Amino acid sequence: MSIRSALFVPGNSAAMVLSSPVLSADAIILDCEDAIAIAAKDSASLLIKHTLLHLPRRQKEYWVRINPLDSEFFHQDLINVLPARPDALLIPKANGDEWRAVVNAIEKIEKQFGLLPVRLIALIESALGVLTCEKVARDERCHGFLLGGEDFASDMGIVRREDNRELLYARYQVCTWAKAFKKLCLDTPYTDIDNLSGFQSDCEFSASIGFDGKACIHPLQADVANEVYAVSEKQILWAKEILDETERQNVGVFSYKGKMIDRPVILRARQIIEKAKKWGLLR
């Protein structure tokens, strides 16, 4: 699963849901939780069900953010959504202490309807979630993480800053565990939708520490994220040069343009080329 951008769309907004196939995000997150008022929870869940059953889904993935385990809507969300076969479920307030209880509830519904296991994305948005994400990462049902910076900051009682430095520990913790167990890892949304340059800078930083992509809250953000979390022409050129020189040298370690090239560098070059091919930047 390769995702550069995952765009939140309110599950009860028919207009936004119906327009989602033409948006540039790699994944659309149909939201049953924070974006939906209590009175509209049931209708959102049902609209999402019919969306998944009838909208064309060849171009992108469709995920659903369900309500949390302790919500009165959690079980009904599973009943409505799982038979419509979303590409993934986004599990809010995820933490290692409750993860298996969530998985057990999902597996019970999957068995009831005879469904194949759905991929689960853990939304880490609390201090407990950050400190116990190792348990989640080790579970085979977890396919990835998404960091929720706003809820994490609220749980910590801290004020958000424009440079997001208050999220540094959470970002490194979540991303490192994701990489350790080969899971997808998406960075927290950037809430200033009018500041695309700030959004781009935020994406560039999170990409530099290992995040695979970004959660988005506006369609224009998805275009920026797709570019940042892919690979640049400069990176592709560098990778080609390294691999060509590796083939020419035919040794384990060599010097190229004044820098030592060894196995980890060669592996990184190969990863860049693979990513470029994946996103259609290189044939």
Ordered per-residue pLDDT tens for the chain, 283 residues: 589 999 999 988 888 888 888 899 999 999 988 878 787 787 888 888 988 988 876 678 999 999 999 999 999 999 999 999 999 999 999 999 999 999 999 999 999 999 999 999 999 999 999 999 999 999 999 999 999 999 999 999 999 888 889 999 999 999 999 999 999 999 999 999 999 999 999 999 999 999 999 999 999 999 999 999 987 777 788 888 888 888 888 877 888 888 888 888 888 888 888 877 877 777 6
Same structural domain for residues 18 and 89? yes
Sort strands 254-256 and 259-261 into parallel, antiparallel or unpaired: antiparallel
Same structural domain for residues 175 and 268? no
Same structural domain for residues 79 and 209? yes
Same structural domain for residues 32 and 163? yes
Same structural domain for residues 162 and 270? no
Using DSSP's 3-state secondary structure scheme, residue 92 falls into coil
Q: 199 is written with which tokens?
A: 């959004």
Q: 264 is written with which tokens?
A: 């980890």
pLDDT value at residue 250: 80
> Is the pTM higher than 0.85?
yes
Could you tell me if residue 35 is inside a domain?
yes
Same structural domain for residues 172 and 259? no
CB 65 within 8 A of CB 92: yes
Same structural domain for residues 122 and 253? no
Angle between helix 74-81 and 99-113 (nearest 10): 40
Could you tell me if residue 244 is inside a domain?
yes
Q: How far is CA 206 from each of CA 157, 167, 170, 188, rounded to the nearest angstrom? A: 23, 11, 12, 9
Same structural domain for residues 251 and 124? no
Helices and strands (DSSP H and E) totals, the chain = 12, 10
Could you tell me if residue 283 is inside a domain?
no
Give the CATH number, domain containing residue 89.
3.20.20.60
Q: What CA–CA distance (Å, rounded) separates 216 from 192? A: 11
Could you tell me if residue 105 is inside a domain?
yes
Q: What CA–CA distance (Å, rounded) separates 85 from 189? A: 25
Q: What CA–CA distance (Å, rounded) separates 31 from 66? A: 7
Structurally, how many domains does the chain consist of?
2
Could you tell me if residue 268 is inside a domain?
yes
Could you tell me if residue 131 is inside a domain?
yes
Last residue of a domain, one of 228, 247, 262: 228
Q: Which helix (H) or strand (E) holds 108?
A: helix 99-113
Same structural domain for residues 152 and 252? no
Same structural domain for residues 237 and 224? no
The domain of 136 spans 5-228
Q: How far is CA 212 from each of CA 41, 70, 130, 246, 250, rounded to the nearest angstrom? A: 31, 30, 18, 27, 32
Same structural domain for residues 224 and 239? no
pLDDT value at residue 88: 97
Could you tell me if residue 90 is inside a domain?
yes
Q: What CA–CA distance (Å, rounded) separates 63 from 35? A: 15
pLDDT value at residue 153: 96
Could you tell me if residue 55 is inside a domain?
yes
pLDDT value at residue 71: 93
Same structural domain for residues 191 and 214? yes
